[in-house]
Amino acid sequence: MKRGREEEDMEIVWQTPANPPERHDYVFRNGIRYVRPYYFEFISHAKNRWAGKTIVDLFTEEFRGRPRDYYVSAVKSGRIQVDGQVVSEYHRVQPSQKISHFLHRHEPPVMALDVTILQEEPDVLTICKPASVPVHPCGQYRKNTIVGILQAEHDLAPLFPIHRLDRLVSGLLILARSASKADFFRQQIESGVVEKQYVARVIGVFPENEQVVDANVNFNHREGRSTVEVEDICGNSNSALKGKAACTKFTRISTNGIHSIVSCHPITGRTHQIRVHLQYTGHPIANDMLYLSNFVADGSTEGLGAGRTSFKFNRNEKNSVESEVNSNEDICFDPMCTNCPNLAPKGYDVHEEGLWLHCVRYSAPGWVYECPYPDWAIIS
């Protein structure tokens, strides 16, 4: 009965990208930053291969995260519309039609680490990016991003990231405060005058002398990982290789015989370049599950878990945490939502670890920006 009254009385306010994140949008529980679920209009235009499909078949086949019954109800209730109009569940889609899906959006959680401002200038902002937080809106992330958090908590907007860090990577992030300044930085990066330095914690005793890896990197979008390609023993040219040319220089900073701290200087900027080049040297990042698949898990892999569940809680403890998170007023229950009553969307675990890879320094003629080393980079 209570749920029925909630559904009747519920006032739905739809958001668009024009609605800026605000401080009260965030909920902090047990070291995790959540976003209060909100209503959002997702817009797409029908592709040619969608033509002729019924609206329900289209969503069921293309967006498999929800059951068919949900899409039937969403069409009937007007939460799925075509060209701004409510249609029947048997409506057949035509190419280029505007399809709107009004959704109760649950964003994935991130670690509740501070976004530390390092330097604030009239046209440049530098911050220390925490691991697990994406730089800008992508996928299911919109407010739980560096750009969103800086806008909500520091009223800093607009911001233009001039380079990117993977979501699980921490460290220096440079953001221009105008489009013209962003273009200036991007031109320098494209011309090759910008020097970049990262630090990583890797498995084993890394060689003492500088190691240069000059090997193509081929990123597989479907698998979400890169591989290294090299010339065969016959010396075939790079033109036969599918990947992009990539070069990284590595220098050992310290080692304790189990792990090594390595300074990484990427000359190019390919997807997962440092991670896959370190794997190629035989010394992958010590908690990088994506590139540790070929290595035996032994004492040297202590701390594994970047991008995976952190097994700090057993099932009962985890359920207790989730119950505490969801037993308050932080979420407005939507009777049609397939993620309610949880704050996090289904399929995301709240216990995630950052990668032991950290951006330390960017420099070019006339400027240099730096970020302190993380705690895990100190070993003895």
Query: Based on the domain organization, do 237 and 155 belong to the same domain?
Result: yes
Does residue 336 fall inside a structural domain?
Answer: no
The pLDDT value recorded for residue 296 is 43
What's the token pair of residue 221? 């979008």
The CATH number given to whatever domain includes residue 27 is: 3.10.290.10
What does R_g of the chain's alpha carbons equal in angstroms? 24
Query: Based on the domain organization, do 182 and 52 belong to the same domain?
Result: no
Question: For residues 132 and 170, what is the distance between their CA atoms, to the nearest angstrom?
Answer: 8
Query: Based on the domain organization, do 144 and 267 belong to the same domain?
Result: yes
Query: Based on the domain organization, do 155 and 71 belong to the same domain?
Result: no
Among 46, 71, 105, identify where a domain stops.
105
Query: Based on the domain organization, do 125 and 212 belong to the same domain?
Result: yes
Among 59, 86, 105, identify where a domain stops.
105
Question: For residues 33 and 109, what is the distance between their CA atoms, to the nearest angstrom?
Answer: 6
The CATH number given to whatever domain includes residue 179 is: 3.30.2350.10
Burial letters 171-180, b for 16+ CB under 10 A, else e: bbbbbbbeee
Tell me which residues of the chain have a pLDDT lower than 70.
1-12, 232-240, 294-330, 349
Dihedral (Cα; 311, 313, 314, 320), 10-degree rounding: -150
Does residue 79 fall inside a structural domain?
Answer: yes
Q: Which domain holds residue 96?
A: 11-105
The pLDDT value recorded for residue 319 is 39
Query: Based on the domain organization, do 101 and 124 belong to the same domain?
Result: no
Query: Based on the domain organization, do 86 and 147 belong to the same domain?
Result: no
The pLDDT value recorded for residue 113 is 93
Unique residue bearing structure tokens 């409506």: 91
Query: Based on the domain organization, do 83 and 226 belong to the same domain?
Result: no
What are 264-321's pLDDT values in tens digits? 999 999 999 999 999 999 999 999 999 997 654 443 444 344 543 222 223 333 333 3
Does residue 5 fall inside a structural domain?
Answer: no
Task: Decide if 59 contacts 50 (C-beta within 8 A).
Answer: no
Query: Based on the domain organization, do 164 and 293 belong to the same domain?
Result: yes
Does residue 267 fall inside a structural domain?
Answer: yes
The pLDDT value recorded for residue 9 is 46
Query: Based on the domain organization, do 159 and 239 belong to the same domain?
Result: yes
Give the total number of structural domains in the chain: 2
Q: What is the 3-state secondary structure (H, E, C) of the chain?
A: CHHHHHHHHCCCCEECCCCCCCHHHEEEECCEEEECCEEEEEEEECCHHHCCCEHHHHHHHHCCCCCHHHHHHHHHHCCEEECCEECCCCCECCCCCEEEEEEEECCCCEECCCCEEEEECCCEEEEEECCCCCCCCECCECCCCHHHHHHHHHCCCCCEECCCCCCCCEEEEEEECCHHHHHHHHHHHHHCCCEEEEEEEEECCCCCCCEEEECEEEEECCCCEEEEECCCCCCCCHHHCCCECCEEEEEEEEECCCEEEEEEEECCCCCCHHHHHHHHHCCCECCEHHHCCCCCCCHHHCCCCECCECCCCCHHHHHHHHHHHHCCCCCCCCCCCCCCCCCCCCCCCCCEECCCEEEEEEEECCEEEECCCCHHHCCC
* Catalytic status, residue 166: yes
Burial of 313 (0-12, 13-18, 19+ CB in 10 A): middle
Does residue 282 fall inside a structural domain?
Answer: yes
What is the number of other CB atoms lying within 10 angstroms of the CB of residue 284?
Answer: 25
The pLDDT value recorded for residue 353 is 84
The pLDDT value recorded for residue 196 is 97
The pLDDT value recorded for residue 14 is 78
Query: Based on the domain organization, do 63 and 127 belong to the same domain?
Result: no
Query: Based on the domain organization, do 283 and 368 belong to the same domain?
Result: yes
Does residue 49 fall inside a structural domain?
Answer: yes
Does residue 195 fall inside a structural domain?
Answer: yes
Does residue 345 fall inside a structural domain?
Answer: no
Question: For residues 56 and 41, what is the distance between their CA atoms, to the nearest angstrom?
Answer: 18
The pLDDT value recorded for residue 234 is 57
Among 105, 137, 159, identify where a domain stops.
105
The pLDDT value recorded for residue 329 is 59
The pLDDT value recorded for residue 239 is 52
The pLDDT value recorded for residue 1 is 37
The pLDDT value recorded for residue 295 is 55
Question: For residues 16 and 78, what is the distance between their CA atoms, to the nearest angstrom?
Answer: 17
Active-site pick, 83, 166, 232, 330: 166
The pLDDT value recorded for residue 37 is 94
